[in-house]
Amino acid sequence: MGRFRVQFLVLLLCILGQTAFSQSDSTPRVKPDTVKPVGIDTLVEKVDTTLRILNLNPYITLHVDSTLNYKLDINRESREYFWFLKNAPLGLKINKDNGILTFKAEKSFFLSGKLKYDYDYRVSLGVQNTQNPKERVDTSFTLVFYSTDIIPSLVKPTVGSMLTVDEGDTVSFQIQCDNGSFPIERVSFFSSLPLKPLTTIHGCDDTFTWVPSYDFVKDGDSAKVKVVMLNFVGATKFMVRDTATIKVVVRNALNYPYAVQEHAAIAKSISTYVLQLKFVFLQLDKTVKKNKGARTTFDVTSATTAMTGTVLATSSTTGSSAANMGKILPTVGVTLVPVKEAVSPTKTYDQNQASLVRGAIKRLEYMLRDNALIGERDPDITKKTNKLRDELQAAQVQLVDIPIEIVNGISEEELNEYFNSPAVNKKYRLSKKKSK
């Protein structure tokens, strides 16, 4: 009984101690209606509200004869959307309901020129909601085709592989390109001999122009020709090259500009010499003409005197003095003939010289007309020039004894007018003698 009491007291003390400890706690008491709930930290899942294409590749490369079957996905139910393409190359299609992109790159498309290799086809792609037109996505991707069957690009000039030209001729042709899988982007030029072309070659469709000079073929070259090799090298962007070679055979030819100048110089020399000869002819003809007038005066005087004497001698009414005078006067007329020869002798030498000069003038003028040039490229220019030079030298040798004077005070028109006058032509014209 006593033991039970002790246990009861100990238990009572423990209860009293806990109650005192709880009452001594410094934490203030709060009414139940004033307690604020504590927030709970939870992860909220965001909702994807923007229409997007999930698996679009912006750059697609296809091999020839390959097949494309590509499913495009969006972040929505595909049954409520439809797909479409813009600027699509030949053969590229898309299923409007499920977005499956299909294409078969047949080789015939490329052989016919409908599709090209190594060309960027930019294709516009779109997807739109059938119920809400504002819910739409527009994007694009690039499609490129390639082939392992490479068609080489070739350089093709517009002339054959061999040309034959003369010095001074113009060599001109166009550099064309036959483009294959990869086009030729630049063309380089080099030759077997240093040349100075008039144009520079950079690429296809450029024109090559070159004029060989007249001294291009040297005297030591065999057969009077020189061979030049022209090489045109075309290159693609992958440095694949093709070379076109043209063999140009340049023949020695006449320097026409120099030959024309030489012919003009000889013709001018002949014209000047003819003008001088016409002045000499004028002087000789005047001397012969003056002498001829004096001799004619003597002939008329002697003839008149002889006639008067004859009349007086045969007159029956005259006296002895008149008869004697008639006998004397014919003697006087005969005496005048030696006086004429002494005072104005016959100018046979001067007249012959005048005729010789006139003949040389006529011949040189005829040669000038006969050997005139027919254009700047007269094929007989060398022969005509040599003919004029020979005629000029022959005339100068023939008239070497005749003094050539400088024309002073008389114009060329006056000399030509005198030389071609009817009187002079009649005087020096050759007449045919009638045979008896």
Residue 183 CA to residue 240 CA, distance in Å, equals 10
In this chain, the answer to whether the domains covering 59-146 and 154-253 adopt an identical fold is: yes
CA dihedral (65, 66, 69, 73) positive or negative = negative
More confident residue, 49 or 372: 372
Q: What is the pLDDT of residue 421?
A: 73
- Residue pLDDT, tens place only, 21-35: 444 444 455 455 554
Q: State the pLDDT at residue 24.
A: 47
* Contact criterion met (CB below 8 Å) for 183 and 153: yes
Please tell me the distance from the alpha carbon of residue 429 to that of residue 48, in angstroms, as a whole number: 126
pLDDT of residue 348: 56
* Residue range 415-428: mean pLDDT, rounded: 69
Classify each residue of 353-392 as buried b or exposed e, where b means 16 or more C-beta atoms within 10 Å of its C-beta.
Answer: bbbbbbebbeebeebbeebebeeeebeebeebbeebbebb
63-67, 226-230, 249-253: least confident range: 63-67
Q: Residues 309-347, buried b or exposed e (16+ Cβ, 10 A)?
A: beebbeeeeeeeeeeeebeebbeebeebeeebeeebeeb
The CATH architecture of the domain made up of 154-253 is Sandwich (2.60)
**How far apart, in whole angstroms, are the C-alpha atoms of residue 367 and residue 267?**
10
pLDDT at 229: 94
Of all residues in the chain, what percent carry a pLDDT higher than 70?
67
C-alpha 8 chain-centroid distance: 135
pLDDT > 90? residue 258:
no
Question: Which pLDDT score is estimated for 148?
Answer: 77
Residue 247: pLDDT over 70: yes
* 48 has pLDDT over 90: no
pLDDT of residue 342: 43
Number of CB atoms found within 10 A of residue 415's CB: 19
Looking up tokens 């003390």, which residue turns up?
Answer: 13
Which pLDDT score is estimated for 142? 93
The residue with greater pLDDT, 122 or 299, is 122
Residue 234: strand pairing partners: 187, 242
Give SS3 for 141: strand
Give per-residue pLDDT as tens, 327-385: 444 554 444 445 444 444 455 555 677 778 888 888 888 898 899 888 877 888 888 88
Instruction: Please state, in angstroms and rounded to a whole number, the distance separating the CA atoms of residues 103 and 69.
Output: 7
User: Cα(116)–Cα(110) distance, rounded to whole angstroms?
Assistant: 6
What pLDDT score was predicted for residue 427? 64
pLDDT band, residue 435 (cuts 50/70/90): very low
The better pLDDT of the pair 382, 13 is held by 382
Residue 168 pLDDT: 85
Which tokens go with 66?
């390959």
When pLDDT is averaged across residues 65-79 and rounded to a whole number, the result is: 85
At residue 315, the pLDDT reads 52
Architecture per CATH, 59-146: Sandwich (2.60)
Q: Which residue has the higher pLDDT, 387 or 302?
A: 387
Least confident of 26-30, 223-227, 264-268, 418-422: 26-30
- Residues 6 or more apart whose CB falls under 8 angstroms from that of 284 comprise 350, 351, 353, 354, 357
Q: Between 233 and 313, where is the model more confident?
A: 233
pLDDT of residue 10: 62
Region label for 92, one of left (φ > 0), alpha (ψ between -120 and 50) or beta (otherwise): beta
Say what the pLDDT of residue 263 is. Answer: 87
At residue 256, the pLDDT reads 79
What are the residue ranges of helices labelled H in 99-169?
107-111
Distances 119 to 56, 63, 109, 152, 186 between C-alpha atoms, Å: 20, 13, 14, 17, 19
Domain ranges across the chain: 59-146, 154-253, 257-427
**Predicted pLDDT of residue 102:** 92
Model confidence at 50: pLDDT above 70: yes
Of the pLDDT bands very low, low, confident and very high (cuts 50, 70, 90), residue 213 is: confident
Angle 216-221-227 (CA atoms, 0-180°, nearest 5)? 65
Look at phi and psi of residue 148 and say left if phi exceeds 0, alpha if psi is from -120 to 50, else beta: alpha
- What does the pLDDT look like over 181-207, one tens digit per residue? 788 999 999 999 888 888 888 999 999
15 pLDDT above the threshold of 50? yes
Q: Quickly tell me which residue has 């490329």 as its tokens.
A: 110
Closest CA to 213 of 162, 170, 159: 170
Give the chain's mean pLDDT.
Answer: 76
Return the higher-pLDDT residue of 167 and 308.
167
DSSP 3-state of 364: helix
- Residues 128-138, mean pLDDT to the nearest whole number: 87
